[in-house]
Amino acid sequence: MEAAAIVLAAGAGTRMKSKKPKVAHEVLGKPLVRWVVDAARAAGVEQVVSVVGHAREQVVPLLEADTQTVVQHEQNGTAGAVAVCAEALGDFDGALVVLSGDCPLITAETIARLIAERERTQAAAVVLSMELDDPFGYGRIVRDGDGAVARIVEQKDASPEEAAIRECNSGFYCFDARALFDALQQVDDDNAQGEFYLTDVLEICRAAGRPVQALACDDTSECLGVNSRIQLAEAGKHLQRRINRAHMAAGVTMIDPDQVWIGPDVVIGQDVELLPQTFLMGRTRVGEDSVIGPNSRLTDTVVGCGCTVDETVAVEARIDDGATCGPRAYLRPAAHLCEGAKAGTHVEIKKSTVGKGSKVPHLSYIGDTTIGEDVNIGAGSITCNYDGKKKWPTTIGDGAFVGSDTMMVAPVNIGAGCIIGAGSCITKDVPADALGLTRPEQRTIEGWAAKKRERQEQA
């Protein structure tokens, strides 16, 4: 079954009150229009043409990797938007789906059903319909005496009888491509809004003797469009619940699903527990038996099996099996906790490897560093990796013990098995099994404090 799709993404979305075009606004870390394109791809659509217009310099980068973009220079209606695709789809002869780029809830299954229905009936067009208790603002589907679709009437053009109809146009269609582009040449703008309506194509096809069908949507929430920040939040809540339910059905525990947000490309293993206020975004992966949260945000991060990630922000990081992180830890890009490693409370790690079984327990910064296995980094220790112009590396060998409040000024190498005394500022390499110490000698003056208090009393 060969199918193509047109994604309408040219509108401004003035009700969003934003400098950003409507379709570029994100839900769960993904732009609205990408939800629609990805659903079409998942439905088996091979060729996707995206119609851009308003602020297209922001929209094209979201689409150019896997769709062909065409420009609607004049915002003159949905028929005008589809018509600009005629050249891009000039050689296509098959099922052509028209999708709204501001409707992120549409599923691949519904798109596939729409295509299959057109193939089954060989209709010129199949419109996805929805039954609404409050149909105000939507185009009404008017049927003839035999129950077939006669036409679609927009709200502003509807008579009182037509406005009472509850079966509405969702804005999703599947056309016979050749019938669509032939009919578009006959569409005019003789209506209340002075626009070229795509819905007029249905009546034109019927007049030409081609049948037009409607397919009822199983879940009307799939057809919800986003035209305001309020609707953006509502769409986000629908998608949050849809994604969370799928993960819970697959064996993930959430004690409060309304306080867990998971992006559409996240992969989670069985028996993972997600605690409240957990955000998993981008291409994050979480292995089996791990506990994430509370208050954790992981983006494009890989977590192994049996890990504990508590109150942690991690971006483009890697946490191997059995590692622990947090509370209140920050793993920046290229941070890597190896098997059984630990990044503890108030620890920041950037572009560094913490070896197997090694620990950075608390109040430390590790940057541009390679830490071997079974290393202990004392509290308050820092790798001083930046000289104001360039980042420099630090290497700490297996089994080393770094005392608390140690500054390691890069570039510097600390050998395997060595000990660094607390309070040291290490600026030179320390060989294996040595003691590195820069602490000044302690001086004690007996009775000094008592004499000071006596002087203060006499003053």
Give yes or no for residue 137 having a pLDDT over 90. Answer: no
Instruction: Summarize the confidence of residues 277-293 as an average pLDDT.
Output: 98
Give yes or no for residue 194 having a pLDDT over 90. Answer: no
- Show binding-site residues for acetyl-CoA: 379, 385-386, 404, 422, 439
Q: Confidence band (pLDDT; 50, 70, 90) for 44?
A: very high
Q: Which residue has the tokens 């060998």?
A: 397
Active-site position among 25, 247, 336, 362: 362
Instruction: Summarize the confidence of residues 169-184 as an average pLDDT.
Output: 95
Nearest Cα neighbor of 195 from 137, 156, 151 is 156
Greatest distance between any 2 Cα atoms in the chain: 112
pLDDT of residue 442: 86
**Structural element, H or E, at residue 413:** strand 412-414
Q: Which CATH superfamily is domain 312-436 in?
A: Hexapeptide repeat proteins (2.160.10.10)
Give yes or no for residue 232 having a pLDDT over 90. Answer: yes
Residues 314-334: tens digit of each pLDDT: 999 999 999 999 999 999 999
- Show binding-site residues: 8-11, 22, 72, 77-78, 100-102, 139, 154, 169, 227, 332, 350, 365, 376, 379, 385-386, 404, 422, 439
Residues 362-388: tens digit of each pLDDT: 999 999 999 999 999 999 999 999 999
- Pair type for strands 3-9 and 95-100: parallel
List Cα–Cα distances, 122 to 118, 175, 176, 210, in angstroms.
5, 9, 8, 9
Instruction: Summarize the confidence of residues 5-27 as an average pLDDT.
Output: 95
* Extents of the domains making up the chain: 3-223, 312-436
At a CB cut-off of 8 Å and minimum separation 6, what does 224 contact?
103, 105, 231, 234, 235, 238
Residues 84-112: tens digit of each pLDDT: 999 999 889 999 999 999 999 999 999 99
In whole numbers, what is the pLDDT of the chain averaged over residues?
Answer: 95
At a CB cut-off of 8 Å and minimum separation 6, what does 72 contact?
10, 51, 52, 53, 80, 81, 84
> For residues 9 and 150, what is the distance between their CA atoms, to the nearest angstrom?
28
117 vs 146, more confident: 117
Q: What sign does the dihedral 75-79-84-88 (CA atoms) show?
A: positive
Output b/e per residue, 187-223; b: 16+ Cβ within 10 A.
beeebeeebbbbbbbbbbbbeeebebbbbebeebebb
- The neighbour count for residue 295, using CB atoms within 10 Å, is 17
Long-range contacts of 346-350 (CB under 8 A, 24+ apart): 349/317
Geometric angle at alpha carbon 367, from 364 and 369, rounded to 5°: 105
Residues 238-272: tens digit of each pLDDT: 999 999 999 999 999 999 999 999 999 999 999 99
- Show binding-site residues for Mg(2+): 102, 227
- The neighbour count for residue 101, using CB atoms within 10 Å, is 30
Residues 411-449: tens digit of each pLDDT: 999 999 999 999 999 999 999 999 999 988 889 999 999
25 classed as catalytic = no
**DSSP tag of 417:** T
Domain 3-223 CATH assignment equals 3.30.420.40: no
Percent of the chain with pLDDT over 90: 87
Give the distance from CA 279 to its chain's centroid. Answer: 10
pLDDT of residue 436: 97
pLDDT of residue 199: 87
List Cα–Cα distances, 344 to 7, 24, 198, 244, 331, in angstroms.
47, 37, 59, 29, 11
pLDDT of residue 144: 87
- Show binding-site residues for UDP-N-acetyl-alpha-D-glucosamine: 8-11, 22, 72, 77-78, 100-102, 139, 154, 169, 227, 332, 350, 365, 376
pLDDT of residue 1: 64
List Cα–Cα distances, 77 to 11, 197, 244, 317, 369, in angstroms.
10, 6, 37, 46, 57
pLDDT of residue 156: 87
Nearest Cα neighbor of 173 from 82, 74, 50 is 82
Geometric angle at alpha carbon 363, from 358 and 368, rounded to 5°: 60
Instruction: Summarize the confidence of residues 17-26 as an average pLDDT.
Output: 96
